[in-house]
Chains A and B, each alone.
Chain A
Amino acid sequence: MHKKEEALEHLSAIKSVLIDKDSFFPYNYNALIIWGLIGTIMTFTMPYLIKHSVIEGTLFSIAMMSIGFFIEGLLTKRVNENYDIETCTKKQRFIASSFTILATFAIIFSAFFAKQDLIVPLFMIWMFTCGFGHYVVGYVLNIRLFTVVGYISIVTALILFIVSIFMIDLGDINSLFFYICQVITFVVLGILPIWMGRKLKKEL
């Protein structure tokens, strides 16, 4: 019996490293606060810019995303240095490349939608892609908070998408629906990541 308990203990210790939250993932959660600020800036400026000029709006998005990735890279590099990690771990590489792909997808889709004068759906595109990114991170690292925030973002984006089918002018940046979507996006892409970053920092 004692041997069985010992074997179970070993198996559970291995599982905690390979499958559960116990996995090794150096990360500076201040990056989430930076992403929250970028999300806020983009929510309140990008729709107007892209409505005025698709190229300007797209370049602005690229610039904001580049700033975000650059700062996140710097913060991660600093954390990694504490562990003697020269470049990055496999999981860090996977998450960084997933977010790069998702951001590229969102930028291209935003330009395409803006060209058709569909400005309101841009909020849903960004919420959906960021939510999907959070969901992936939550799944890979087994961090429940990321998964929940991912679900919230995806579901909110889908509900707004469905509602927008019944709206007439999705290019009107002075409509009530536009403002509602803007405020919701601010909560999802601005406030939620900042709250998440602060919470996870406290838990460390």
Chain B
Amino acid sequence: MFDPLLHQNIRSKLISLLISNEELPFKALKEYLKVTDGNLSSHLTKLEKAGYVRIEKSFEGKRPKTVIYITDEGRRAFKKYIEALKEFIEEN
């Protein structure tokens, strides 16, 4: 009934953050969501596989940097998910 990828606390917060900021570095997401590197990576991999986010890895000098972008597909899925949540609450 609900998108299983988005119906999860960390991932729904993560997508909400990306919607209000368009793009955010991995470090910023990690600090905000208070999760470990591994935990965040696993959530991001799932979202990336579904095409909801785009992950760009680059180097800033010698330091690796990862930036996460929300995709149009991600926006659409999130909108649908919110509508489904609202509908469910109204019906029950």
Contacts and interface: CB of A to CB of B under 8 A. Distances in A.
Interface of A: 1, 3-4, 7-11, 13-14, 17-18, 23-24, 26, 82-86, 89-91
Contacts, number: 70
B27 A10 contact: no
Contacts of B13: 13-14, 17
A11 B87 CA distance: 12
A125 B28 CA distance: 38
Given A14-B12, A26-B28, 4 more contacts: A18-B19, A18-B20, A24-B20, A90-B22
A84 B63 CA distance: 10
Majority secondary structure, B binding face = helix
Given A13-B13, A14-B82, A23-B20, A8 B89 contact: yes
B92 A4 contact: yes
Nearest to B86: A11
Contacts of A4: 88-89, 92
A91 B19 CA distance: 12
Interface size class of B (residues with CB under 8 A): 20 to 34
A141 to B, nearest CB: 11
Given A13-B13, A18-B19, A85 B89 contact: no
Contact of A85 (B17, B25, B82): B25
Contacts of B36: none
Interface string B71-92: 0000000000010011011001
A83 B31 contact: yes
A75 B65 CA distance: 21
Task: Count chain B CB atoms within 10 A of each CB in A3, A24, A85 and give the residue with the most.
Answer: A24
A155 to B, nearest CB: 31
A171 B5 CA distance: 66
Interface in B1-47: 2, 7, 9, 12-13, 16-17, 19-22, 24-28, 31-32
Contacts of A84: 25-28, 60, 65-67
A13 B89 CA distance: 15
B22 to A, nearest CB: 6
Contacts of B17: 17, 24
A180 B77 CA distance: 58
